[in-house]
A and B are shown apart, each in its own frame.
Chain A
Amino acid sequence: MDIPRHWRLKKQRYALVGEVCGHCEAKVFPPRDICPECGEEAKTLYQFSGKGEVYSYTTVYEAPAGFEESAPYTIAMVKLAEGPLVTAQLTDLETREVKVGMPVEMVTRKLRNATDERGMLVYGYKFRPVVG
């Protein structure tokens, strides 16, 4: 299942590696090579801190195919400390109530189960409430 596609994304998925614009210093995630702020080339790799806060969130009860075992799950847009928004699941919530503005940090977790006989599992970033 899509092995090269997932393999190519390992830096982004496992380490939140995006880019920094050499012209205006904007931090870019996901990487897109053209800076969304100034329109110049942005190809210098930049690793994000993984810190951020919840911008918006919701719960998925009836999961799409491939995510059945995760349901119900909470998915959010997270505003990274360096500026960009990312879409990711929230995890390790236990009984905690999610709120807009809640501080969160990146962790690596299983994103979805294998959907074919090759049995590949896809790992990537999720965000959990900041501990302590």
Chain B
Amino acid sequence: MHEVIIAGIGQTEVGEHWDISLRELAFYALEAARNDAGGLRPQALYVGNMLSAALSHQSHLATLLADFAGLQGIEAITVEAAGASGGAALRQGYLAVASGAVDVALVLGVEKMSEQTVFNVEAAAATGLDVDYEAEHGLTLTAQAALLMQRYLHEFSPTAGAFAGFPVTAHANGAGNKYAMFQKAIKPETYLRAGFVSEPLNMFDVAPNADGAAALVLTRPDLLPADFGHVPVRIIGSAVATDTLALHDRPDPLVFHAARLSIERACAQAGIKPEDVNLFELYDAFSVYAALTLEAAGLAGRGEGWKWAENGALSLQGKLPISTMGGLKARGNPGGATGVYQALEATQQLRGQAGPNQIPEASLALVQCLGGPASTAVSHVLTNRPAA
């Protein structure tokens, strides 16, 4: 296997882009990443997207986007794994370059949520659940997260407002990211006063769906341009794991087993432990997901993940910074683009390009995105340390 470097990064602002089409959004991110990489010619494009067929009535997406970017002729494939689509596309790009089959790969995540009403987006996103046995009974991703949180509260009885620290951390970090959907810090009292979306989930427990596109250029170290101007960030761990698709099919729904497996595999490949990392870009689509992810990573015992959200332990200055550029909650959740945004933001940290959100001397990052309640989990380990 070859070393794989993230040679270029590019992103659009996350938000509601009424005036920008799916293909234009993708193009902006691809162009930015290619410019950042300095003239590398891509041979393949891996597109992470979740809902373009349902929301924009457009499938065959990777070919359209390669075409629109003037890259006709290259290999191009769309990768779909619900909310984990972006991470899954990165995995495909990583495998292509690591194997030596592809010299330079583009990885793009793109999602256009604002084409449809929230009701249509919820219905489309619910097709990522077990349609026959979950969605057809009126279950949505949000309601499913509420079921998880209700059971969590029942079994573990955390303190009132136990989950506040997750959105408070995310919003504090979003304030330092000019690409974030929400760039304003919130107070814990604001969380406690917020209206319910589906009890016990309140509006600050739910990341907002949004439009966005993010792109990465991957290549081998020997192919970097002579004038490459960035700290080379290497992918040293990469893993995907799956669980039952339906939440009700698990022996214990409060265990994110695939999240655990993918972290274990990625960390084993990298030769590190989760507690070694300087930052963890985790998948905070719902605050209860963040708590269950910290437990799955082995960083907290069962029923104790929420304790990390107390006392600023997850802030930029804390013991384990998460969601360092706002996470899904404040940067926004552009569906299949999210996993690519996460890897891009970890790269900013490891390059020293995170601006006011820079974690001093960050050298090791764990990145994870989830499809549904960790029905698919994709984990990557990134570092700026030179190869041994």
A interface with B by C-beta (< 8 Å) = 5, 9, 12, 30, 32, 36, 55-68, 70, 73, 75-77, 84-89, 100, 111-112, 122, 124
Contact = CB atoms under 8 A, between A and B. Distances in A.
B154 A75 contact: no
A87 B198 contact: no
B123 interface: yes
B138 A111 contact: yes
A49 B132 CA distance: 21
Given A30-B246, A61-B197, A62-B122, 11 more contacts: A30-B132, A58-B198, A58-B201, A60-B143, A63-B119, A64-B126, A64-B138, A65-B122, A75-B139, A85-B248, A87-B139
13 contacts: A30-B132, A30-B246, A59-B198, A59-B199, A61-B198, A64-B135, A65-B119, A65-B122, A87-B137, A87-B248, A89-B137, A89-B138, A100-B154
B122 A112 contact: no
Interface stretch (B72-80, B145-153, B176-184): B145-153
A59 B147 CA distance: 9
A77 B146 contact: no
Given A57-B147, A73-B138, A85 B133 contact: no
A85 B253 contact: yes
Contacts of B120: 64-65
Contacts of A111: 136-138
Interface string B223-234: 000000000000
Contacts of B248: 77, 84-87
Contact of B138 (A12, A77, A85, A112): A112
Nearest to B142: A60
Contact of B247 (A59, A77, A88, A112): A77
Contacts of B199: 58-59
Interface in B153-174: 154
Given A67-B138, A89-B138, A75 B143 contact: yes
Nearest to B120: A65
B118 interface: yes
A85 B117 CA distance: 32
Interface in B196-248: 197-201, 244, 246-248
Interface in B225-284: 244, 246-251, 253
Contacts of B251: 36
Nearest to A80: B248
Interface residues of B, number: 37
Contacts of B122: 62, 64-65
Nearest to B145: A58
B253 A77 contact: yes
B140 interface: yes
Contacts of A89: 137-138
A64 B123 contact: yes
A12 B119 CA distance: 27
Contacts of B117: 65
A61 B202 CA distance: 12
Contacts of A68: 119
Contact of A66 (B123, B143, B148, B154): B123
Interface string B14-48: 00000000000000000000000000000000000
Contacts of A61: 197-198
A75 B137 contact: yes
Contacts of A73: 138
A60 B248 CA distance: 18
Contacts of A55: 151
A98 B250 CA distance: 23
B111 interface: no
Contact of A58 (B130, B147, B253): B147
B208 to A, nearest CB: 14
B13 interface: no
Contact of B151 (A60, A64, A100, A122): A100
Contacts of A84: 248
Nearest to B131: A5
Contact of A76 (B132, B147, B249, B250): B147
B151 A87 contact: no
A56 B137 contact: no
A101 B7 CA distance: 54
B295 interface: no
A70 B148 CA distance: 22
B151 to A, nearest CB: 4
B140 A87 contact: no
Most buried by B among A9, A62, A87, A111: A87
